[in-house]
Amino acid sequence: MSHAQQLWDLLLPMGPYRRQGSYTAGELEGEGRALDGVSAALDDLEREAMLDTAEGEGLEKLESLLAHRPVAETAPARRAALAALLRIGGDSFTLDAINDNLTGCGLNAQVSETEEPGVVEVRFPDVPGIPEGFEQMRKIIEEILPAHLQVNYVYWYITWRELETRFDTWEDVERGGHSWGELEKLVR
C-alpha cells in the first residue's frame, strides 16, 4: 500500500477530507510520493548498513576501510570475506583461526606448520601451479599471518608418473597442443 493511500485512510474519518476534491487528492498524492521515496531510501540504507545484507555501497565503504580489498567478486563472497577480515583480532593466530580467516577472505589457501620453528607453509589446494592473482593473495596472506613467521609458498604440478598415465607417448602429448605451462597443470 502506498503512503498516499495510507494518508487517505488516516484522514478520511476527519470531515474536511471526506470530499475528495482535486486539490486535496493532489496534495495527499504528492506527500505520499515523498514518503514513498523516504521509505525506499531508508530501506536501501538499512540493507547497506548491515554486512549480512549489503550489496553495493555498503560493501564498498567497508572495503575502503581495509588495507586490501578481499579476493572475491560476488556480493555473498565479498560479505563472507569482509566478515572474516573483521574477525581478525588478538586471538586469531591459532592455525585453525588463520585458515578460517583465509577461507573467509575468499582465498583458496591452506597454512600448515613445519618442523622448523617460526616457519609455515602456504599451499593452494585444488589450484595447480601459481594461482591467478597470486600477488594480491600474497599481500593478504602476509597481512593475516603474524609478522614474525617466515612464509614458504608451496605449489604443485603434474608429476612424470601422472603424465605417463595420461599420455602413452610424446606424440600424444604434442597432439594435445598444450603449452608447457598448460601441460604442467594437467593434474586431476
Provide CB contacts within 8 A for 164, sequence distance 6+.
none
149 and 73 within one domain: yes
Helices 75-87 and 57-64, interaxial angle, to 10°? 30
Cell readout for 24 is 486535496
Most confident of 57-71, 94-108, 137-151: 137-151
Q: Which residue has the higher pLDDT, 177 or 86?
A: 177
Of 51-60, 79-88, 142-151, 157-166, the one with minimum mean pLDDT is: 79-88
141 and 73 within one domain: yes
Q: Which domain holds residue 132?
A: 57-154
**Nearest alpha-carbon partner for 2 in 42, 30, 44, 43:** 30
What is the average pLDDT score of the chain? 82
Q: How far apart are CA 40 and CA 107, in angstroms?
A: 35
- Asked if the model's pLDDT at residue 151 lies above 90, the reply is yes
108 and 78 within one domain: yes
- Asked if the model's pLDDT at residue 153 lies above 90, the reply is yes
Q: Which residue has the higher pLDDT, 173 or 87?
A: 173
- Asked if the model's pLDDT at residue 187 lies above 60, the reply is yes
pLDDT at 91: 61
Cell readout for 103 is 577461507
175 and 144 within one domain: no
179 and 148 within one domain: no
Q: How far apart are CA 99 and CA 102, in angstroms?
A: 5
Question: How many domains would you assign to the chain?
Answer: 3
